[in-house]
A and B are shown apart, each in its own frame.
Chain A
Amino acid sequence: MRKPTLIYTEKILQEMAKEQNSIIEVKGLAKSFDNTTAVNGISFSIQPGELFGFLGPNGAGKTTTINILTGLARPDKGNFHIAGIDCTKNVQSAQHLIGVVPDESNLYPELTGFDNLCFCGALYGLTKQERRNKARELLDTFGLSEAANRKFAGYSKGMKRKLTIAAGIIHNPKILFLDEPTTGLDVASARQVRQLIADLHQAGTTIFLTTHYIEEAERLCERIAFIVSGRIVKIDSVEHLLQPLQKKQVMQITCVKDTRFIRSKLPETFPEMSFIFSKNNIIRVEADKPIFAGAIVRFLEEQGIDVAEARRLKPSLEDVFVQITGIESDALKKEKEKQGIGGKS
């Protein structure tokens, strides 16, 4: 019964690739829980093979969006198509095309790594030989071969995350939903996971990635949607998002003394520049014209403040995010700290 559907969807995917149609098309999706609006009329489309990022703080509506698109939640309003199939009321007809890696590892603690992968393969109808071969291959790829016969409950956090990703791709999904894949991982594991995502993307898998790590989104994604309080506030390619800031000059000056008493003097002396004073005596200088560090450093030293370092910064996606959403990047960083190291590597 399932086979004709598979042939049909393969055909659709091939047609899509030719015509550059969207593999995911979302229109006016909305979802509320009690009196809280989780997702508020969002619309977007994703092309086949694209790595699409969904960036926003905790509670922005990222996981709810994934839950709706994968069949774990029902939308209150709007509609969505996956591979041309209208999945608004029932995602089941497209579920064989989808792989999901949730924000928390949810495999079976009593099963071994190998058995978990085989079981997940069986859920998608892989034959015994197919799932055993694929499980071994994935364990090898993810560097978990030695832990294959250990129970999942005994895995470290990084190993659990990697096995959860492996379980999400055991059936070779055309579309992979990754919900905060590196949250809570140590630097080395986060780097490995990011490399795996890049490899999957390289292999042609369409990836929908939610994250609150701005650097991760910037590094991996082709297009990014900023979601805040259930609304998409901006959606564009990373290149286009960064373009308006390319002309902007940014410099970071690290001082060795408290800079509080010169907070008003600096803008008075250099009116063409703007100054942001942050913790640890760091001053961020922004201007539309080139910034000459020498003049500022001299001024600071005249005021009795020694400068430890002055360096030019390249405008980043973090600057774009702050500019568009008004959410200070510190708010996102606090979330990182709460949830582990993850992000930077």
Chain B
Amino acid sequence: MKAWIAFWNILLKDMRSYYLKPPNISWGLLFPLVWITMFFIRSGLGMESLPELLPGLVALSILFGTTSVLSVTVTFEKKGRSFERLLLAPISLEVLMLAKTSGAILFGIINAFVPIFVAMLLTDLSAVNWAILVPATILIAISSTFLGLFIAVSVKEVFEAQTFSNFFRFPMIFLCGLFFPIQQLPIWLRPLSYMLPLTYGADALHTSINQTSHIPLLLNFSLLTLFCAALFVLSLHNIRKKWIV
């Protein structure tokens, strides 16, 4: 019960202090929307082709929504020493980091449904398989958040967190099959694509929205789950090793 009170209040504080703030909304929503609009106008296609771009837009909204704030705030709190307050609380590191990341996960999921809702108003989404889309969205949000956490605990300065997260995020836009299939990438780049969690998330989203994929769905979900677990365990290991010296 006491751990739950701590968990809930850490989540609430982070939501109020960081996630529901204009910079985060602009990165998480505006940036993907501008990108997709640019693609849409450039392609010269009609509204009926919107579902083809939707998986990319959803994945991008989650990626930027989850990683933009988390990696910066954790580094900021560590630098300002307020993170020490959390480490001194009588809760396990696992519960603490789950509380710190839950805000980003929730925000990523909410972000994902904004473009879906807009698309529902503009085109027919009756063919969407929601039973695949919802878990895919959740798994992408968790894996992207834990990637943000991994970045946060790997750096010391806030500017390093921003640089390091962009180092991962921007290549992922092109490498993970968001807007064009991985098969169109040069053959030497493809192994890199398969090392990134978003590749599997985007493929699952393509399955749920357009029924097109090149990786078995079960493999997508399994690998995403594995990425989530690995990134979380690795981040905790880094915190124990670097922050509790």
Residues on A lying within 8 angstroms of B by beta carbon are 1-2, 33, 70-74, 92, 95-96, 98, 100, 102, 104, 106-111, 119-120, 122-127, 167
Contacts and interface: CB of A to CB of B under 8 A. Distances in A.
B244 A72 contact: yes
Given A71-B88, A74-B245, A119 B9 contact: yes
Contact of A125 (B2, B82, B245): B2
Interface stretch (B61-69, B89-97, B103-111, B152-160): B89-97
B245 A73 contact: yes
Interface of B: 1-3, 5-6, 8-10, 13, 17, 80-82, 84-92, 244-245
Given A124-B89, A124-B90, A167-B85, 13 more contacts: A70-B88, A72-B244, A92-B90, A95-B88, A102-B84, A106-B85, A110-B17, A119-B13, A123-B9, A123-B85, A124-B6, A125-B1, A125-B6
Nearest to B13: A119
A122 B85 contact: no
A2 B2 contact: yes
B161 to A, nearest CB: 18
Nearest to A95: B90
A73 B25 CA distance: 37
A106 B2 CA distance: 23
Binding site secondary structure of chain B: helix
A123 B6 contact: yes
Given A33-B245, A125-B1, A125-B6, A106 B90 contact: no
Contacts of B90: 2, 92, 95-96, 124-125
Contacts of A1: 3
Nearest to A33: B245
Contacts of A122: 5-6, 8-10
A70 B85 CA distance: 11
A116 B86 CA distance: 13
A123 B91 contact: yes
Given A2-B1, A74-B244, A92-B92, A123 B86 contact: yes
Contacts of A96: 2, 90
A84 B92 CA distance: 20
A16 to B, nearest CB: 20
B87 A71 contact: yes
A107 B245 contact: no
B29 to A, nearest CB: 22
A123 to B, nearest CB: 4
A73 B244 CA distance: 5
Nearest to A152: B82
28 contacts: A1-B3, A2-B2, A33-B245, A72-B84, A72-B88, A72-B244, A92-B91, A92-B92, A95-B88, A95-B89, A102-B81, A104-B81, A106-B80, A106-B81, A106-B84, A106-B85, A108-B82, A119-B13, A122-B5, A122-B9, A123-B9, A123-B85, A123-B89, A124-B6, A124-B89, A125-B5, A127-B5, A167-B85
